[in-house]
Amino acid sequence: MSSSEQEIQQKSTDNQQEQVSNADINATKPDSATDATQHDFAAAEQYKNKGNELLKTKEFSKAIDMYSKAIELYPSSAIYYANRALAHLRQESFGLALQDGVSAVKTDPTYLKGYYRRAAAHMSLGKFKQALSDFEYVAKCRPNDKDAKLKFTECSKIVKMRAFERAIAVDKPEKSLSEMYRDMENITIEDDYKGPQLEDGKVTLKFMKDLMEHYKAQKRLHRKFAYKILCDIDVYMRAQPSLVDIKVPDEEKFTICGDIHGQFYDLMNIFEINGLPSEKNPYLFNGDFVDRGSFSVECIFTLFGFKLLYPNHFFLSRGNHESINMNQMYGFTGEVTAKYTSTMADIFTQVFNWLPLCHCINQKILVMHGGLFSSDNVTLDNIRRIERNCQPPEEGLMCELLWSDPQQWMGRGPSKRGVGIQFGPDVTEAFCKANNLDYIIRSHEVKDMGYEVGHNGQCITVFSAPNYCDTMGNMGAFITITGNNLKPNYTSFQAVPHPDVKPMAYANSLMNWLA
């Protein structure tokens, strides 16, 4: 053991059971340098304490403001950076959380929570090797701490699993799901199954109504029909372009919804408020159908079912959570495995790769999950040419479509998430002008009213998961337009009750510990 590790171990003997929780966010590190420093420290402590209370009541933005004021007065406390990192993690600002984790470690290398915060941010960004390095360091510093050892062991398992997956992957012509899983056609339906059934292998309106009632009663669709829906949606999505053009006829309504995130009962409420999908009531759901909420299986089969029933009047865009990294960490993979099999979880990964990346409505409204680009002069034809059958890359057009966020100030900046970029009103205006668009609609961010209009009306955010993760207290919203009047109309709605299954119930245990 190095001398620095011995020092850290000695300093941490009074706090052997380090937990990533709110329990010790009140810890402080006093300073006795000067009267002025003591005064600044005392004032900073007051801001920190206010931040802690706001963190407990889920007011994360206000908590961040308090911690920032504390840091401005007294930048020598690693605790302030670590607490602010936790608030950033709760807001899914993983890039900012990583910066604060780094600052906490740099400010006080003996404060081990800084390493946990940095590890949490790295894991959220899919950077598991970097996270493992932090867990390994803490475990060495605390050889008798079972919690530290468990975190290191769990992260090590993830890194080894990823390495194994890469090792067995080979380049070969990809087969369709129907070709790969022909034996699933022979799955027997048990006599005691009383749930919905496909009619001659096809989705019907009766099937969809029965399916939704079946799900409301917390029952499962038979695996034979689940596999069939996945095979059919795979065939359909492969034939779609990366940018889908939608024509909404004059006088007819069209609805755009944002993130659903596994909140099935809120999805049902949207249909209750706005009507079931039909050829006269078309919808576009703009990505992040799964993860976080613990009814993601119910959401995705409902959405895929309506897509098969109304292929030209029901549309689905890929979000950043339709990816293997997000699914393995935030619950969807675990949920599919628990409710069906790990094989089906792998099938979803293949299907998600073929989801379109964005939609253009009446040649005037571009709808994508994340946002705009780090490069000027991107055209709709550039988007059409994206080869999307892959996991989202860490940069480039596809990455930015799924991850970017708007900012209030001009120009471009680094993403608070650590992936994609932030783009200002001038970027949006130039993009819309170059592509003859009226405005863009995107999702990807929680908003208090479920929507937000920015960039002089040219960048609209819509988010359709109210009281996100049962903690945020936000409303959900959806947007409606008509073919001859593209002015957006907004409908906000509250969360509805759901069965007593908490969000993230199927998430990777390490993510629950860390965040």
Query: In the prediction, which pLDDT does 435 show?
Result: 98
> For 149-295, where are the E strands, in sequence order?
243-246, 253-257, 283-285
pLDDT for 188 beyond 70:
yes
Query: In the prediction, which pLDDT does 23 show?
Result: 39
Query: In the prediction, which pLDDT does 37 show?
Result: 81
pLDDT for 476 beyond 90:
yes
Share of the chain above pLDDT 70, in %: 89
Q: Which of 1-15, 204-218, 380-394, 450-464 has the lowest mean pLDDT?
A: 1-15
For residues 69 and 57, what is the distance between their CA atoms, to the nearest angstrom? Answer: 19
- The backbone torsions φ and ψ at residue 289, rounded to the nearest 5 degrees and listed phi first, read -75, -25
Query: In the prediction, which pLDDT does 510 show?
Result: 74
Mean pLDDT computed over every residue of the chain = 90
Q: What is the dotted CATH code of the domain comprising 179-514?
A: 3.60.21.10
Give the mean model confidence (pLDDT) for residues 437-462. 98
The rounded Cα 27 to chain-centroid distance in angstroms is: 31
pLDDT-derived band of residue 177, with 50, 70 and 90 as boundaries? confident
Listed in sequence order, the residues at least 6 apart from 365 whose beta carbon sits closer than 8 Å to its beta carbon are 437, 438, 439, 440, 441, 481, 486
pLDDT-derived band of residue 171, with 50, 70 and 90 as boundaries? low
pLDDT for 169 beyond 90:
no
Report which of residues 26 and 268 the model is more confident about. Answer: 268
pLDDT for 144 beyond 50:
yes
Query: In the prediction, which pLDDT does 22 show?
Result: 42
For residues 1 and 56, what is the distance between their CA atoms, to the nearest angstrom? Answer: 38
pLDDT for 12 beyond 50:
no
Give the mean model confidence (pLDDT) for residues 47-66. 94
Most confident of 31-40, 151-160, 171-180, 192-201: 192-201
Query: In the prediction, which pLDDT does 260 show?
Result: 98
Q: Provide CATH 3.60.21.10 ranges for the chain.
A: 179-514
Q: By three-state DSSP, how is residue 249 classified?
A: coil
Three-class HEC string of 444-460 = CCCCCCCEEEEHHHCEE
For residues 266 and 274, what is the distance between their CA atoms, to the nearest angstrom? Answer: 12
Q: Which of 30-34, 65-69, 246-250 has the lowest mean pLDDT?
A: 30-34
pLDDT for 213 beyond 50:
yes
From the list 273, 272, 306, the residue with the least C-alpha distance to 289 is: 306
Residue 378 is which amino acid? V
Catalytic residue chosen out of the listed positions 88, 321, 444, 498: 321
- What's the pLDDT tens digit per position in 264-307? 999 999 999 999 999 999 999 999 999 999 999 999 999 999 99
Residue labelled with tokens 């790990």: 342
Query: In the prediction, which pLDDT does 19 show?
Result: 38
Query: In the prediction, which pLDDT does 141 show?
Result: 92
Give the mean model confidence (pLDDT) for residues 444-472. 97
- What's the pLDDT tens digit per position in 349-403? 999 999 999 999 999 999 999 999 999 999 999 999 999 999 999 999 999 999 9
Report which of residues 221 and 29 the model is more confident about. Answer: 221
Give the mean model confidence (pLDDT) for residues 154-162. 84
Give the mean model confidence (pLDDT) for residues 141-167. 84
Query: In the prediction, which pLDDT does 4 show?
Result: 45
Are the CB atoms for 450 and 475 separated by under 8 Å?
yes
Concerning whether 39 is annotated as a catalytic residue, the answer is no
Q: Which of 141-155, 252-266, 309-323 has the lowest mean pLDDT?
A: 141-155
pLDDT-derived band of residue 175, with 50, 70 and 90 as boundaries? low
pLDDT-derived band of residue 168, with 50, 70 and 90 as boundaries? low
Domain 35-168 has CATH 1.25.40.10: yes
Query: In the prediction, which pLDDT does 28 show?
Result: 53
From the list 500, 504, 496, the residue with the least C-alpha distance to 476 is: 496
Query: In the prediction, which pLDDT does 172 show?
Result: 52
Q: Provide CATH 1.25.40.10 ranges for the chain.
A: 35-168
pLDDT for 20 beyond 50:
no
Q: Which of 24-28, 72-76, 353-357, 436-440 has the lowest mean pLDDT?
A: 24-28
pLDDT for 84 beyond 50:
yes
Report which of residues 449 and 35 the model is more confident about. Answer: 449
